[in-house]
């Protein structure tokens, strides 16, 4: 059902709005069961059905219309029984916009010391009582059906990308494909919930390409590139994203999982990716860090104690907007400094600011793509972030060169 601009599947419509004439960047509109979102997009992570201290109303105020929940965490608390009784995660958290749920595969790697992965599923010890538990593709689907997320992720066999064990990497990649088949078979609500596949294959580009072909054959409504952001070199990360996007169809959303640093977002958009998520912006907010176009500022530093400017000059978030404007709070760096690590309010304020920053960065990128001035946007972004060109990270320079932007050219 694809015209040359739109793709529709039962629970999703994707419309390609514009394409950068230089890079692979795209602007598009994604329509999901709980409304429309503009791509490229950053999705804040409300792991346990709450975006770290913000009310759903405040999150809505940042412009967010698609956020993440985590299947693994919601499966433990509140648990499937409660999710069924309440009627899903939207009802649980009072969020009437879209939710994407990660399958819980990544948490197996990041949180569990004794995860044992077999063909059947992931066996691990319960973090609550140490009893053995099993997460299978079928069970992950059943949980995500109970959650009712608008986008569900398949259970995948995640391995740290830096693993030197090639045979194990291949096994993980192939198993992820087999698990996708089991996920598709077990998915009870294909008309109301989208299931995305996840491309695995570590840093081996051939294996990634092979995985792309296998996954694409299963024709899921969207495609994720997984297994990254696990400590690999940035060059390798860019190569993998570029290799995958090259093979992916134009008319499906492409989601790079676990990406959140502003540079990574901008470069990944240039490489043709559309969707990103990361806990970093909200986590770093709780550590007292503010993301700005000139880099990350640690508000706990003494230099901000008597700084009565906004967190970021010119920022349009509720904390930073000029005080005369309606709804602006008039938060100063001094107040954030005063309460950082002392009162939760400071964490909430920085979370509001950081989420707004990330969403706005993607909004700006989108506008630039539509007006076909994306390369200039990328150059301005890096120009703001670094004092001079010599300090640009080489991985970004190289990756952008590969798609036609020469950051170092005058």
Partner 1 sequence: MRFEVLKAALKDGAAARVGRLAFAGRTPIDTPNFLGVTSRGALPHVTPDNVDKHLATTGAFMALEDFIERPQQYLKRIPPIYATPTTKKHSTRLHSFTALPQSVTTVLNTRRIPAVPSPMGNTNASVSVFTSTGFQALTTKEYLSAVQTLRPDIAIPPADLTNSPITPNSKRALRMAERTDEWVVEWFSELSESSSPPTTFAPILPISYSIQWEYVSRLAEDYLPTAQLSGLAIHDPDLLPDLAEHCAPLLPLPRLSLADPRTPHHILRQIALGIDLFALPFINTISDAGLALSFTFPPPPAPSPENTTAPGPQPLAVDLSLPQHAASLAPLTPIRTCPCYACTAHHAAYVHHLLAAREMLGWTLLQLHNHAVVAAFFAGVRDTLAQGGPEAFEAAARQFALAYEPEFAEGVGERPRARGYQYKSVGGGEGKRNKPAWGKLDGEGAEGAQAGEKGAEV
Specify binding-site residues for Zn(2+).
315, 317, 320, 353
DSSP letters of 42-58?
Answer: EEEB-TTSS-TT--HHH
- CA dist 250 and 44 (Å) reads 25
Out of 17, 18, 76, 115, which residue is the one contacting partner 1 (CB under 8 A)? 76
Query: Which residues are part of a known binding site?
Result: 102-106, 156, 200, 227, 315, 317, 320, 353
Out of 111, 185, 305, 376, which residue is the one contacting partner 1 (CB under 8 A)? 305
Nearer to partner 1, 187 or 333 (CB): 333
Q: Which residues within the stretch 251-270 sit at the binding site for partner 1 (CB under 8 A)?
A: none
In the numeric block, which tokens belong to residue 307? 């700084």
Given 236, 277, 388, 398, the catalytic residue:
277
In the numeric block, which tokens belong to residue 190? 């294909």
Q: Find, among 336, 213, 228, 222, the residue nearest to 285 by Cα.
A: 336
- Residue 208: count of CB within 10 angstroms of its CB: 22
202 neighbors 227 (Cβ within 8 angstroms): yes
- CA dist 261 and 259 (Å) reads 6
Out of 5, 91, 294, 401, which residue is the one contacting partner 1 (CB under 8 A)? 91
For position 56 contacting partner 1 by CB under 8 A, the verdict is yes
| Angle ∠(74,237,287) on CA atoms, nearest 5 | 50
x/- mask, partner 1, residues 314-353, rule CB under 8 A, reads: ----x----xx--x-xxxx-xx-xxx--xxxxxxxx--x-
Active site residue 191: no
Residue 399 C-alpha from the chain's centroid: 20
Q: Find, among 217, 144, 226, the residue nearest to 181 by Cα.
A: 217
Nearer to partner 1, 184 or 329 (CB): 329
Nearer to partner 1, 81 or 388 (CB): 81
Is residue 327 packed enough to be buried (19+ CB in 10 Å), middle (13-18) or exposed (0-12)?
A: exposed
Nearer to partner 1, 17 or 76 (CB): 76
Active site residue 102: yes
List contacts with partner 1 (CB under 8 A).
Answer: 48-58, 72-73, 75-82, 85-86, 91-94, 104, 113, 126-131, 133-135, 139, 143, 302, 305-306, 308, 318, 323-324, 327, 329-332, 334-335, 337-339, 342-349, 352
- The residues annotated as belonging to the active site are 102, 277
């Amino acid at each position: 059902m694809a015209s040359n601009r739109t793709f529709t599947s039962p629970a999703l419509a994707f419309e390609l709005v514009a394409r950068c004439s230089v890079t692979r960047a795209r602007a598009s509109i994604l329509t999901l069961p709980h409304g429309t979102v503009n791509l490229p997009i950053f999705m804040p992570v409300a792991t346990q059905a709450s975006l770290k201290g913000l009310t759903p109303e405040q999150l809505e105020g940042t412009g967010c219309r698609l956020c993440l929940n985590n299947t693994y965490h919601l499966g433990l608390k509140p648990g499937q029984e409660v999710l069924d009784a309440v009627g899903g995660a939207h009802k649980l958290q009072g969020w009437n916009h879209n939710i994407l749920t990660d399958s819980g595969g990544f948490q197996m790697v990041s949180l569990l010391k004794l995860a044992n992965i077999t063909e059947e599923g992931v066996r691990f010890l319960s973090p609550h009582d140490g009893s053995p538990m099993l997460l299978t593709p079928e069970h992950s689907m059943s949980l995500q059906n109970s959650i009712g997320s608008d986008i569900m992720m398949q259970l995948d066999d995640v391995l740290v990308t830096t693993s030197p064990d090639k045979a194990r990497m291949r096994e993980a990649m192939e198993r992820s494909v087999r698990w996708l088949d089991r996920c598709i078979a077990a998915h009870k609500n294909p008309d109301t919930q989208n299931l995305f596949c996840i491309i695995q294959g570590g840093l081996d580009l051939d294996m990634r390409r092979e995985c792309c072909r296998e996954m694409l054959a299963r024709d899921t409504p969207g495609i994720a590139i997984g297994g990254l952001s696990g400590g690999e070199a940035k060059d390798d990360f860019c190569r993998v994203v570029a290799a995958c996007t090259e093979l992916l169809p134009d008319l499906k959303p492409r989601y790079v999982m676990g990406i959140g640093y502003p540079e990574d977002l901008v470069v990944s958009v240039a490489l043709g990716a559309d969707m990103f998520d990361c806990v970093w912006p909200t986590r770093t907010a709780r550590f007292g860090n503010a993301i700005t176009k000139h880099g990350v500022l640690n508000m706990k530093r003494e230099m901000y104690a008597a700084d009565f400017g906004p967190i970021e000059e010119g920022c349009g978030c509720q904390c930073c907007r000029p005080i005369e404007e309606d709804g602006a709070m008039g938060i100063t760096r001094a107040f954030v400094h005063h309460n950082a690590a002392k009162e939760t309010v400071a964490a909430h304020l920085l979370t509001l600011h950081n989420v707004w920053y990330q969403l706005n960065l993607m909004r700006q990128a989108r506008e630039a793509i539509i007006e076909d001035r994306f390369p200039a946007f990328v150059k301005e972004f890096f120009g703001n972030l670094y004092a001079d060109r010599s300090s640009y990270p080489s991985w970004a320079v190289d990756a952008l060169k590969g798609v036609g932007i020469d950051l170092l050219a005058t």
